[in-house]
């Protein structure tokens, strides 16, 4: 039996006799342009005001400069019906401090049904192992509802600030 050494995507494209350029496939999954993000938010949440904190932070989260690109489905999952949204900003000496600040001072996070969050890295090189430790701490603190969240995603941006910070966009069940 012959062994296939070609990438799966190439085989699929040849089998369907369609040539789909990769940028088109990528743009299907990711939102790149600010106007794409804005129009998607308006379409999914028409009552969300463009000058609100939630709208602004969603635009930042899915916008340019994120070190980890977010999938467009995270936005549609996050903006589901029967949800209210809240933005929480915390800062600390480390990413982990930010997580503990969030958990300790905002107990409503335990009732969240979705969270998009981004860290702002202080000037200099991003220390990924510290971000990973903070995310592990987040998982340990919020295990009560974490597996039912839709979605739970994070990214990081470089910043010229001297402190670590965390911005959490939280979805809460509006029917409670």
Exposed, middle or buried: residue 69 (CB in 10 Å: 0-12, 13-18, 19+)?
Answer: middle
Secondary structure tally for the chain: helices H, strands E: 7, 4
Over the chain, what is the mean pLDDT? 81
Confidence of residue 28 (pLDDT cuts 50, 70, 90): very low
Q: What is the fold, at CATH topology level, of the domain defined by 8-173?
A: 60s Ribosomal Protein L30; Chain: A; (3.30.1330)
For the cut 70, the answer to whether the pLDDT of residue 77 exceeds it is: yes
Share of the chain above pLDDT 90, in %: 49
User: What is the pLDDT, as a whole number, of residue 142?
Assistant: 74
Domain ranges of the chain: 8-173
Q: How many CA atoms lie within 13 A of 123 on its CB side?
A: 3
User: What is the pLDDT, as a whole number, of residue 148?
Assistant: 62
Q: Tokens 């860290």 identify what position?
A: 119
Q: Are strands 112-121 and 152-158 parallel, antiparallel or unpaired?
A: parallel
pTM of full prediction above 0.85: no
Neighbours of 26 (CB within 10 A): 11
For the cut 70, the answer to whether the pLDDT of residue 146 exceeds it is: no
pLDDT tens track for 122-131: 988 899 999 9
Q: Is 6 left (phi over 0), alpha (psi -120 to 50) or beta?
A: beta
User: What is the pLDDT, as a whole number, of residue 108?
Assistant: 82
For the cut 70, the answer to whether the pLDDT of residue 176 exceeds it is: no
Two structure tokens written together for 47: 């009552």
Alpha helix ranges (H) inside 17-144: 22-29, 34-44, 53-61, 72-78, 95-105, 128-141
Rounded to an integer, what distance in angstroms lies between the CA atom of residue 78 and that of residue 37?
14
């Amino acid at each position: 039996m012959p062994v296939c050494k070609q990438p799966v995507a190439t085989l699929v494209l040849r089998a369907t006799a369609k040539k789909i350029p990769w940028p088109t496939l990528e743009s299907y999954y990711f939102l790149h342009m600010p106007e794409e993000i804005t129009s998607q938010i308006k379409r999914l949440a028409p009552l969300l005001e463009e000058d609100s904190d939630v709208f602004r932070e969603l635009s930042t989260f899915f916008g340019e400069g994120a070190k980890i690109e977010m999938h467009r489905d995270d936005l549609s999952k996050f903006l589901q019906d029967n949800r209210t949204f809240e933005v929480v900003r915390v800062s600390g000496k480390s990413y982990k401090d930010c997580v503990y600040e969030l958990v300790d001072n905002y107990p409503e996070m335990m009732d969240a049904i979705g969270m998009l969050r981004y860290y702002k890295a202080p000037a200099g090189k991003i220390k990924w192992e510290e971000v990973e430790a903070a995310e592990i701490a987040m998982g340990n603190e919020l295990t009560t509802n974490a597996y039912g969240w839709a979605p739970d995603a994070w990214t990081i941006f470089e910043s010229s600030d001297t402190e670590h910070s965390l911005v959490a966009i939280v979805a809460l069940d509006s029917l409670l």
